[in-house]
Amino acid sequence: MFTQDYQKISSNILGILPPRQKEIILRRFGLDSGQRETLDSIGQSFGVTRERVRQIEDIAFERLKQEAKEARRKELEKSFSYFEQYLEKQGGLKREDILLSELGGDRFQNHIYFLLTLGETFERFRENNNFYSFWVIDENLFQKAEGLLKTLVKIFEKEKRPLPEEEFFNTFKDEPSELFNSSFEIFKRIEKGPLNNFGLTDWPEIKPKGVKDRAFLILKKENRPLHFKEITNLASELEGTVCEKKEIYSQTVHNELIKNDMFVLIGKGIYALKEWGYRPGTVKDIIIDILKTANKPLPKEEIIEKVLKQRQVQENTIFLSLQDKNFFAGNEKGKYYLLKL
């Protein structure tokens, strides 16, 4: 691995500046303190306006860039060459926080940022609503990444579901994998969710915003009805790139499950997702729906079988509901039919 004392390299090139210009650059990039300072805070300490600080900064950087351009410093050439090789291996672009961490570790992130800003080869794109801050070696890659994002968003909007990892990364199998991976890292609208699939960040499956979303995710993951206490335990452990572990109380979960019609109570404390085909209501309501759909009398055994597909209850509970003479009656063949309501 290429190693350099980036602090020493930065200090050496800053040596060409007058004291005030040097101090402003040191403070703006946090090269000594580790904390980058604003134009306002520096201006207040010097007793000048923020605009004057900006002017001095611009003058200093023009001088530094000219020094770097003339390539009179071999250590700068080596650093720039290494940065360029790194970005090429990443497909030509890289999200800023990841790049600084990988190149600068814990000690030199501010120095890497400073040196990248000096290099003519490197272009920085600021964070906006769609992208995190990132660096490129070819500014045309921004249009490339923007096109990839638009296409992915259209795919997700059409599919209306998160994509498993393999399916997601095969979406652009004709594109260089390094470029696709680095482009995905800078996208704000697409993330990897707690269930290790990929989708839009405004989807609860990807970025759960509350207890309801977490409960929904757990049921989707387990793909089976669960007791609300089990949902609580699993939801508390839920973790992903956009979801942290969080202590949740079972009563809170139960309250959310009761009041949201996306969940259906199918047994004592047992919930399922409505999208799985479960109908809301009591056992009696389910029997009414079954007889209405059949539009003919049905034997007790068939009714029980159909109800048990919708509810986790005892057969005796179903039979007792059938005895409600306000709704059901039996004929001479032992079959039950729905009374006119």
CATH class of the region 6-92+106-124? mainly alpha
- Evaluate if residue 69 carries a pLDDT over 90: no
Give pLDDT, residue 172: 80
Per CATH, domain 283-338 is 1.10.10: yes
Position 341 scores a pLDDT of 60
- Residue 72 has what pLDDT? 58
Instruction: Count other C-beta atoms under 10 Å from residue 339's C-beta.
Output: 12
Q: What is the pLDDT of residue 115?
A: 95
What pLDDT score was predicted for residue 109? 95
- Name, in order, each residue with C-beta under 8 angstroms of 68's C-beta and a sequence gap of 6 or more: 13, 76, 80, 118, 119, 120
Which secondary structure element, helix H or strand E, spans residue 39, and what is its range? helix 39-46
Work out the burial of residue 169: count CB atoms within 10 Å of its CB; fewer than 13 is exposed, 13-18 middle, 19 or more buried: middle
Mean pLDDT of 141-153: 90
Q: How far is C-alpha 310 from the geometric centre of its chain's CA atoms?
A: 34
* Whether the predicted pLDDT of 173 surpasses 90: no
Q: What is the CATH number of domain 211-276?
A: 1.10.10
Upper half-sphere CA count for residue 249 (Cβ side, 13 Å): 3
pLDDT tens column, 258-277: 999 999 999 999 999 999 99
Helix (H, G, I), strand (E, B) or coil at 238: coil
Point out the least confidently predicted range of 43-57, 164-178, 264-278. Answer: 164-178
Predicted confidence at residue 66, as pLDDT, reads 86
Nearest CA among 213, 212, 219 for reference residue 201: 213
> Rounded to an integer, what distance in angstroms lies between the CA atom of residue 13 and that of residue 115?
10
Q: What is the pLDDT of residue 243?
A: 76
**Contact between 304 and 293 (Cβ < 8 Å):** no
Place of tokens 């805070």: 41
User: What pLDDT does residue 34 have?
Assistant: 87
Residue 242 has pLDDT above 80, yes or no: no
Helix (H/G/I), strand (E/B), else coil: 119: coil
Residue 71 confidence class, pLDDT cut points 50, 70, 90 = low
Distance CA 317, CA 284 (A): 10
CB-CB contact of 235 with 253 (8 Å): yes
What pLDDT does 139 receive? 85
| pTM for this prediction | 0.75
Of 7-11, 101-105, 167-171, 287-291, the least confident:
167-171
Do the first three CATH levels of 6-92+106-124 and 211-276 match, i.e. the same topology?
yes
pLDDT(73) > 70: no
- Residue spans per domain, the chain: 6-92+106-124, 140-200, 211-276, 283-338
Beta-carbon neighbour count of residue 232 at 10 Å?
A: 23
- Mean pLDDT calculated for residue range 208-235: 93
Check residue 251 and give its pLDDT: 95
pLDDT of residue 170: 84
> Please, what is the average pLDDT of the chain?
91
